[in-house]
Amino acid sequence: MPVSRLSRSHGVEFAFCELHSASEFRRILRRERLLADRFGGGFSLLTFAPGSPGGSLAALAQLAQCLKPRLRFTDEAGWVDAQCTVVGVVMHRTPAAAAWKVADEVCEALPAAIPPPLCEVYYYPLEAAVHERRGRDTEYSAGADGKAVRPMDAMFALQIPLWKRCLDVSAAAVALLLLSPLLLLAAVIVKLTSAGPIFFRQWRTGLGGKRFEIYKFRSMSIDAEEKKRWLMAFNEQDGPAFKIVNDPRITAIGHVLRRTNIDELPQLWNILKADMSIVGPRPLPCSESEACSMWHKQRLDVTPGLTCIWQVRGTRDSFDDWVRMDIEYTRQRSPWFDLKLILSTIPIVLLAKRRG
C-alpha cells in the first residue's frame, strides 16, 4: 500500500495517510472486479463515513488508527470520494460477514467521544437471485447477523463528464425543437392506426444498475410484452437479449417507425432527464440486464445512449461481442470518439438501417 504525503489541517496530522486517492482507489476496485470476473471468487468493500455531519479530521484520524492494525497485507484502503470524506477498504477474497466483523471491531475500538462512523459493506458479485428488493433502484441482501450487504454496481459508475452533458442537453433540445412537427405527426399516426397508447414505456437498466423508464413511440401491439414469452423459442440473438427480425408483434406503421428510427426519437426526453446520453451502450430491459453474466455488467459503468459502437459497425454479432464493443466504448469515451460515432450514425439513420 503506497504511502502518500502527510496532510495537516487544524493541527491534526494524518499519520494514517497510507490512503489511495479517489481515482487510484477506483482503479483498484475495477482491477478487483476484473480478477473476480476472470478467475471467480469475490471481494468485499467496507466503507466508513463520518458519524456526524461534517465529521472532524480528528475523528477520521482516530478511525484510521483503529482500522490500520486490522487490515491484511492484501487489503487496500483509500478515499471513496474526491472530497475525502469516506474511507473505503477493498478486501480481497473476503466474504461480507468478515468485512462486517472488521467494521464492528473498528467501531468498538473508537474512543467514546468519537461518534461511531456509518459503515456499509458491499460485495461483488452479489447474485440477483439473493437480492431482497427494497425500492426501485436499490437492492439489498441479508448479510452477517441480518446486516445489509449492498451490490457494488453503482460503485463502478462513471459520472457523465461536463462536456458530454453539455453536448447532450444542447443537441437534444435543438433536435426536439426542430423535429417537433415530425414528432406530432408520428404521434397522430400511431394513435389513428392502432389501439393503445401513443408511447411505449419500459423499465430499463442504466448507469450503475439504476432503473429508469424509457420512452418510445409504440410500434407493437399493446399485448407485445405478453406475447414475448411465446416467441422466445424464435429468438435470433444469443445471450439474454431478445431480437427477431420479422417480429409479428410489430404493427403496420410500426415497421415504418422502426425502419426510419423515428420510434426512438422520444428518447431525446430521456437524454434531457439525464437517464441517457446521445452516445452510450443501448439500455437493456431490466429482465435482460439481470440475466447478464457479471462481466457483461461492465457496460453499465457509463450512461446508456441512443447510439454506440455496436450500432454503427453493421455486423451480425454475438451478444458477447456486442458487450465487448460497449466495454470498448467505456474505455475510450472522449469528445472526439463521441463525435466520430455520431457522424457514423447519421448515414445509418438516413439509409434507414436499424441495429437495435
Q: Determine the Cα–Cα distance for residues 219 and 197; give it in Å rounded to an integer.
A: 10
Q: Which of 18, 22, 42, 24 is nearest to 32 (CA)?
A: 42
Cα torsion 331, 169, 277, 345: sign: negative
Quickly count: other Cβ atoms within 10 Å of residue 66's Cβ: 20
Q: HEC string of 189-234?
A: HHHHHCCCCCEEEEEEECHHHCEEEEEEECCECCCHHHHHHHHHHH
DSSP codes of every residue in 58-107 = HHHHHHHHHHGGG--TT-EEEESSTTS--EEEEEET--HHHHHHHHHHHH
Q: Which residues are CB-contacts of 183 (< 8 A; sequence separation ≥ 6)? A: 176, 265, 266
The residue with cell 445489509 is: 148
Q: Given this model, what pLDDT does residue 47 score? A: 94
Q: Which of 338, 345, 340, 296 is nearest to 164 (CA)?
A: 338
Q: Which segments within 175-331 are labelled E, that is strand?
A: 199-205, 211-217, 277-279, 305-307
Give me the domains of the chain, ranges plus CATH numbers: 8-156 (3.30.70.270), 162-350 (no CATH)
Query: Residue 150 pairs with which residues in a beta bridge?
Result: 122
Query: Exposure string (b/e) for 113-144, b if CB count within 10 Å is 16 or more?
Result: ebebbebbbbbbbbeeeebeeeeeeebbbebb
Cα torsion 240, 245, 250, 255: sign: positive
Q: Which residues are CB-contacts of 21 (< 8 A; sequence separation ≥ 6)? A: 4, 78, 79
- The pTM of the full predicted model, rounded to 2 decimals, is 0.83
Q: Given this model, what pLDDT does residue 53 score? A: 62
Q: Determine the Cα–Cα distance for residues 175 and 261; give it in Å rounded to an integer.
A: 14
Q: Determine the Cα–Cα distance for residues 79 and 24; give it in Å rounded to an integer.
A: 9
Burial class, 159, CB count within 10 angstroms (exposed 0-12 / middle 13-18 / buried 19+): exposed
pLDDT tens, the chain, 356 aa long? 443 433 444 333 444 457 889 999 999 999 999 999 998 889 999 999 887 665 566 777 778 888 888 888 899 999 998 888 889 999 999 999 999 999 999 989 888 888 888 899 999 997 633 443 444 344 455 455 668 899 898 899 999 999 999 999 999 999 999 999 999 999 999 999 988 999 999 999 999 999 999 999 999 998 888 888 888 888 888 888 888 888 899 999 999 999 899 999 999 999 999 999 999 999 999 999 999 988 999 999 999 999 999 888 866 678 999 999 999 999 999 999 999 999 998 888 777 665 55
